[in-house]
Amino acid sequence: METIYLDHLHNQAYLKPYQQKRITSETLIDLGNREALSLDGAWQLCPDQYDTCLRARWFAYKPPVASPQDCDFEGWQETTVPSCWNTLTPKWEFYEGSMLYQRRFACTKEAQKRYWLCFEGVANRAYLFLNGHYLGFHEGSSTPFSVEVTDFLEPANHLLLSVNNSRLATSVPSDNTDWFNYGGIYREVSLVALPAVFIKRWFVHLADEQALSVEVECSSSVSVQVSCPELGLEETLRCEEGKGSLLVPFKGTAWSLEDPVRYHFVFTSGEDRVEDLIGLRLIKTETTAMLLNGKEVFLRGVCLHEDHPDFGRFVNENLLRRSLEEAKSLGCNCIRLSHYPHHRLMAKLADELGLLLWEEIAVYWGLAFAEQQTLESAQNQLSELIVRDRNRSSVIIWSVGNENPDTDERLSFMSALADQARALDASRLIGAACLVNEAKLCIEDRLEEKLDVIGLNEYYGWYDGDWTKLETLLANSVKEKPVLVTEFGAGAKSGFHDAKEALFSEEKQASVYQRQFARILRTGYIQGTFAWILYDFRSPRRMNRYQMGYNRKGLLDERRRHRKLAYLVVQQQYENLKDLGR
């Protein structure tokens, strides 16, 4: 014990051995409808500002011991997981650093079973320990990860996590963003038991109007039975070296906004059986048009952050349903999930309700684009997102970045992400919020050739009051691909009114939207608009007397109760577009 104690005082490279054991998308298990032991509920937590748990190897302490300890895992504050620590007590509201989480649970191991710990979201980095054994390190607050614990599971178990939300220049996202930096185990945790040979993941989609593609990945070389009663599908595919695929005729109904039909797929191999509800549709582009099942679609969109003043980034089904229903009430057929992967239930509910989604990872503003570790983190997060949501018909666009600087390193970085997304899922479109040449007033981004759709963020009438620039920008940015206005709008403090349209008045925000729509909708190559944003959300960089730590561009206030005047403007514009068949 004394050796451990002395060593940690001087070791400045203490993180290196931990970070060499990374948990990546390669071990991610798709749970489907499998039964799992929920590890949500009562946990304990304790701040660890100096990372002493990792430095001094607290996880290895086992009572009784003869010498004093700085940690005995008793007396820590009780909490409920999932949650964000920032919303638990005022003293932790702005805490950035390490927080220790622990809980104990019982488990009776069954012979010939393999056991996996599954986490839906831990912000931002997690070091995992079970019964004193180090399991691995995961980076990325918004994507799921799984790790096998078969060899370390006991009848009585102690699970310990060191969770760190420090903002780092080399992380994804980096140290400078425009949303609040929440920390904690804020999504679900479970333990799942699998057969010795199991189905790891699957991918079902339309190859074309008349062909259905099924891809399955297993833990070893086995045969898998694939069935879908509604489609009359009963096929067996062989997974060689763990992977197999088949192509069969499709004679069903495609999932659509008007008829979001889903099919019940069952995958069986030996003792393993998983099920999934999957909608089947085609999304393509044809010059400047976007085609959903061969029919042109205009995206009437809104952006959404995962943020609530009482819960932070923790969400439940009720909150998610309310957000989707609010978007539908606004007249939307698409939501941009900004600027990171949202809860997996969002896409499942969008499948059910008939809404389209733009999903993205947090390659936001300036990253360490020249750093290999940053690229690897972004690639892993992108893989985890795509593997998680590629069976969700609502998701039509994978986005690889937002408002990033024009450098050779950035181009190489984001091109690699675009190529990776296409390799993992060729059935969807690849997009990004691209660069504007402010001198020429045109969309000009070397990344465009890697994309299927081009995103344009612009705030004329708000940050720049010269409306002629918007006219020039749109006239100069004719493309041979669809262009989506992925952000536009203005800020307003809920309840602040001024007939002269003062800044941050609801009248000013409504006026900006009126003029924006009037110009944007005259531009033929634009195939969608995304109002920024549905709800006000926390952002520490926004600190004037109207903002007070919130981005106030929401069409509703942060408590999601008051619809600002601009809400009615957007709603009317989208109703007009629907009447025109767009």
Using the predicted structure, report yes or no on whether residue 169 has a pLDDT greater than 50.
Answer: yes
pLDDT tens column, 295-347: 999 999 999 999 999 999 999 999 999 999 999 999 999 999 999 999 999 99
Contacts of 329 (CB under 8 A, 6+ apart): 571
Give 138: exposed, middle or buried? Use CB within 10 Å, 0-12, 13-18, 19+: buried
- For the chain, give the percent of residues with pLDDT over 70: 97
| Residue 385: count of CB within 10 angstroms of its CB | 26
Range of lowest pLDDT (4-8, 427-431, 482-486):
4-8
Taking a C-beta distance cutoff of 8 angstroms, is the pair 574, 300 a contact?
Answer: yes
Q: Give the pLDDT band of residue 12 (cuts 50, 70, 90).
A: confident
263-283 average pLDDT score: 97
540-568 average pLDDT score: 97
Does residue 581 or residue 401 have the better pLDDT?
Answer: 401
Give 408: exposed, middle or buried? Use CB within 10 Å, 0-12, 13-18, 19+: exposed
Report how far residue 185's alpha carbon sits from residue 81's, in angstroms, rounded to the nearest whole number. Answer: 6
Report how far residue 242's alpha carbon sits from residue 221's, in angstroms, rounded to the nearest whole number. Answer: 5
Longest dimension (CA), the chain: 79
Q: Which residues pair with residue 485 across a beta bridge?
A: 456, 529
Tokens of 138: 């995961």
pLDDT tens column, 436-465: 999 999 999 999 999 999 999 999 999 999
Report how far residue 185's alpha carbon sits from residue 193's, in angstroms, rounded to the nearest whole number. Answer: 22
CA 110 from chain centre, in angstroms, equals 34
Contacts of 249 (CB under 8 A, 6+ apart): 210, 211, 212
Contacts of 495 (CB under 8 A, 6+ apart): 506, 562
Assess whether the previous peptide bond of 47 is cis (omega < 30° from 0).
no
Q: DSSP labels for 463-492? A: TB--HHHHHHHHHH---SS-EEEEEE---B
Q: Rounded to whole angstroms, what are the CA distances from 553 to 46, 467, 506?
A: 35, 19, 10
Report how far residue 85's alpha carbon sits from residue 387's, in angstroms, rounded to the nearest whole number. Answer: 28
Mean pLDDT of the chain: 95
Rg (CA), the chain: 25
Using the predicted structure, report yes or no on whether residue 73 has a pLDDT greater than 90.
Answer: no
414-422 average pLDDT score: 98
47-68 average pLDDT score: 84
Q: Give the pLDDT band of residue 582 (cuts 50, 70, 90).
A: confident
Q: Which residues pair with residue 100 across a beta bridge?
A: 46, 162
Taking a C-beta distance cutoff of 8 angstroms, is the pair 278, 204 a contact?
Answer: yes
Tokens of 575: 């109703």
Using the predicted structure, report yes or no on whether residue 483 has a pLDDT greater than 70.
Answer: yes
| pTM summary value | 0.96
Report how far residue 140's alpha carbon sits from residue 125's, in angstroms, rounded to the nearest whole number. Answer: 6
Q: Give the pLDDT band of residue 67 (cuts 50, 70, 90).
A: low
Domains of the chain plus CATH, in order, are 2-195 (2.60.120.260), 199-281 (2.60.40.10), 298-489+501-534+563-579 (3.20.20.80)
The Cα angle at residue 254 between residues 251 and 257, in degrees rounded to 5: 165
Using the predicted structure, report yes or no on whether residue 4 has a pLDDT greater than 50.
Answer: no
Residue 68, pLDDT score: 65
Using the predicted structure, report yes or no on whether residue 36 has a pLDDT greater than 50.
Answer: yes
Residue 6, pLDDT score: 58
Residue 65, pLDDT score: 65
Residue 3, pLDDT score: 44
565-574 average pLDDT score: 98
Using the predicted structure, report yes or no on whether residue 57 has a pLDDT greater than 50.
Answer: yes
Using the predicted structure, report yes or no on whether residue 5 has a pLDDT greater than 80.
Answer: no
Q: Give the pLDDT band of residue 72 (cuts 50, 70, 90).
A: confident
Report how far residue 250's alpha carbon sits from residue 235's, in angstroms, rounded to the nearest whole number. Answer: 13
Question: One-letter amino acid identity for 271?
Answer: E
Strands (E), 196-309: 199-208, 211-218, 222-228, 233-239, 243-249, 263-269, 272-278, 283-286, 289-292, 295-296, 299-304
